[in-house]
Structure 1
Amino acid sequence: MRATCVNMVYELAKTDERIAFIGSDLSPGLLAAMKKDMPDRHFMEGVMEQHIVGMAAGMAMDGFIPYVNTIATFLTRRCYEQVALDLCLHDLPVRLIANGGGVVYAPLGPTHLAVEDIAIMRALPNMTVVAVVDAEEMKRLMRASVDWPHPIYIRLGKGGDPIVSDEKHGFEIGKGIVMRPVAGSGHPLLISCGVMSGRALDAAKILAGKGIEAEVVHIHTVKPLDQALILDRVKAAGSIFTIEEHTAIGGLGSAVSDLLDLQGGKTRPVVNKLALPDRFQENYGLQEDLLAIAGLSPQAIADTVMKHAGG
């Protein structure tokens, strides 16, 4: 997913002179072909993340569409004031490519784990927040991102994730996708984002083996949220679960809950948030290890759904 994302910047730049790449202390060979072919649109700055956000803002004001790439925690925690005032206040078309959303950098510990990034980016006016499921969907997002008129936070997974998206579903920023529809009513509804949508599909397969048909809705755009789709699918659901590689505060689960608070009516359903705990991670290891500890493996998700659904 990561390689696909940055490679798409180069591919898009070949046909659109507005597109530029700005990196911060990344591999010196990253996008070497773009650096050679387009030296005036490829910039690799040092460890100065606040600077590259301000630099991107200035370039956007001059008509460029900058794609800024560095580690997710640095783009969010370290650059929050610059993102808020330089990008969002002026509503500039800068794309923030964030490496390591969630617990991807598990071996490096809490300083590098972007577990609250969706919450703080979602809180900013004019910011769009996107977390796709795999490399193929990333290609579709990158093509759609070129003419999107607002800043975008693009949350990247580790890479090498299974391809579960399907081109026939299309792609539109702000529109969710029903990946596993279920007819009738009373079934569990799994609403997920990012790479967790693949795990939600795996959990649904486990549930199907137990005689429980679960619907899976992939919300690749957390902001703006596809309110119409969610409200429509909630109507037939017997239970609702949001699944995300993020803390339960301020992420996808909060976005869905906020929507139902406003439009759910007197019979507003309960949203069961399957997410990371509200604490700094105490464990080191692999991404899969931390997800398993948090109850976010496919089997753990299925077990939780069965428990709440009375299975």
Structure 2
Amino acid sequence: MRKTALNTIYEIAKQDSKVLFIGSDLGPDVLAEMKATIPNQFFMEGVSEQHIVGMAAGLALEGYKPFVNTIATFLTRRCFEQVAIDVCQQNLPVRLIANGGGAVYAPLGPTHLAVDDMALMRVLPNMMVVAPCDALEMREVILASMNNRHPMYIRLAKGGDPVISDYSSKPFKLGKLVVMKEVGDGVFVTTGVATQIALEASRLIKNEMGINIGVIHCHTVKPLDVDLALEFIPKAKAVVIAEEHSRIGGLGSAVLELCNDLNPTQSNKIFRLGIPDQFSDKYGSQNDLLNYWGITALKLKDQMLKQLRN
């Protein structure tokens, strides 16, 4: 996913001299061809994340189109003031591309777990928050970002994930949900790579119980598509929201807020499945932590069946 994002930026930059890539200590091989062929559009700064955000804001004020890339926890927690004041308060089209969303960097411990990043970015006025489900959708996000004149936070997964999106017949559009499977007795509402887990849970329920469960993928967490509250959630008897993020402030919170504002009678059918409100004391792989937190296809299956019985 990250490779696709960076290669798409390079592709765009070759056509538009205003497009810039700004990284922070990402290694000598990152976009080496871009650095060699269009060096005036490539900047690799040192370990100075606050600096690159402020730098990107200044360049955006001069009409440039910067893409900033570094580790998610550094880009959100460490740079929060610069993102808020330099980028969001000025409402600048700076695209923040965050490596290691969720538990991707699980072996490095809680300092590198971006499990609160969407909450931090959602609270900022003017900021759009996006979490693609695979590399194909990531490419669509980068291309679509060129028509967005506001700040964007783009969450990257680990890469190598199966491709589950398909925009061959229906064009990608920022801010619009994607119906991966039509709403049945229940529906999973997800974002990012959690959508892949939800699809597997839906298959398990169909194969074992013969029950149809829909899957709605919200690549854009902010602003959330209002059709979710007005059209799709009312169709289901039960709604389970799954995300690789804290249960506070992420997709689940966004859906409940949307329902509260637009369709409050639907809120009592919603269950949120995410990361508990505590720092992780476990190490291992991303899958190790997802299993520990219960963000798995089996857990989603069991929770959906429980909600349908209630």
Match of 2:19 in 1: 19
Distance in 1 separating the partners of 2:188 and 2:170: 18
Match of 2:203 in 1: 205
Match of 2:288 in 1: 289
State how many pairs are aligned. 308
For normalisation by structure 2, the TM-score amounts to 0.97
Match of 1:215 in 2: 214
* 1:48-197 pair list within 5 angstroms: 48-167=48-167, 168-182=169-183, 187-197=185-195
Query: Is the deviation greater in 164-173 or in 119-128?
Result: 164-173
In structure 2, the gaps of 5 or more residues are none
Distance in 1 separating the partners of 2:264 and 2:280: 37
Q: Provide the secondary structure at the position in 2 that maps to 1:139.
A: helix
Structure 1 contact 4–135 (Cα < 8 Å) conserved? yes
* 1:253-268 pair list within 5 angstroms: 253-266=252-265, 268=267
- Judged with a 3 Å threshold, the aligned counterparts in structure 2 of structure 1 residues 205 and 239 are, in CA distance, closer, same or farther, namely same
Q: Provide the secondary structure at the position in 2 that maps to 1:40.
A: helix
Shift, 1:29, TM fit: 1.4
Match of 1:225 in 2: 224
Q: Provide the secondary structure at the position in 1 that maps to 2:39.
A: coil
In structure 1, the gaps of 5 or more residues are none
Structure 2 contact 134–162 (Cα < 8 Å) conserved? yes
Shift, 1:182, TM fit: 3.5
- Output one character per residue of 1:147-180: Cα deviation in whole Å (capped at 9) or x when no partner: 2010100000000001000113421110010010
Distance in 1 separating the partners of 2:14 and 2:157: 25
Query: Is the deviation greater in 20-29 or in 221-230?
Result: 221-230
Identity within the alignment, %: 52
- Output one character per residue of 1:181-227: Cα deviation in whole Å (capped at 9) or x when no partner: 146xxx11110000001111011000101222101000000001101
- Judged with a 3 Å threshold, the aligned counterparts in structure 2 of structure 1 residues 292 and 267 are, in CA distance, closer, same or farther, namely closer
Query: Is the deviation greater in 83-92 or in 11-20?
Result: 11-20
Structure 1 contact 102–115 (Cα < 8 Å) conserved? yes
Shift, 1:307, TM fit: 1.7
Amino acid at match of 2:273: L
Amino acid at match of 2:157: G
Distance in 2 separating the partners of 1:218 and 1:110: 27
Distance in 1 separating the partners of 2:157 and 2:37: 28
Mapped pair 1:236 → 2:264 = no
Distance in 2 separating the partners of 1:215 and 1:138: 23
Shift, 1:85, TM fit: 0.2
Match of 1:247 in 2: 246
Match of 2:5 in 1: 5
Distance in 1 separating the partners of 2:39 and 2:264: 56
Distance in 1 separating the partners of 2:267 and 2:219: 24
Structure 2 contact 110–279 (Cα < 8 Å) conserved? yes
Shift, 1:65, TM fit: 0.6
Structure 1 contact 169–177 (Cα < 8 Å) conserved? no
Shift, 1:231, TM fit: 2.2
Distance in 2 separating the partners of 1:157 and 1:266: 34
- Judged with a 3 Å threshold, the aligned counterparts in structure 2 of structure 1 residues 98 and 280 are, in CA distance, closer, same or farther, namely same
Q: Provide the secondary structure at the position in 1 that maps to 2:15.
A: coil
Q: Following superposition, which runs of at least 4 residues in structure 1 exceed 6 angstroms of deviation?
A: none
Amino acid at match of 2:122: R
Amino acid at match of 1:180: K
Amino acid at match of 1:82: Q
- Output one character per residue of 1:111-133: Cα deviation in whole Å (capped at 9) or x when no partner: 00000000010000000000000
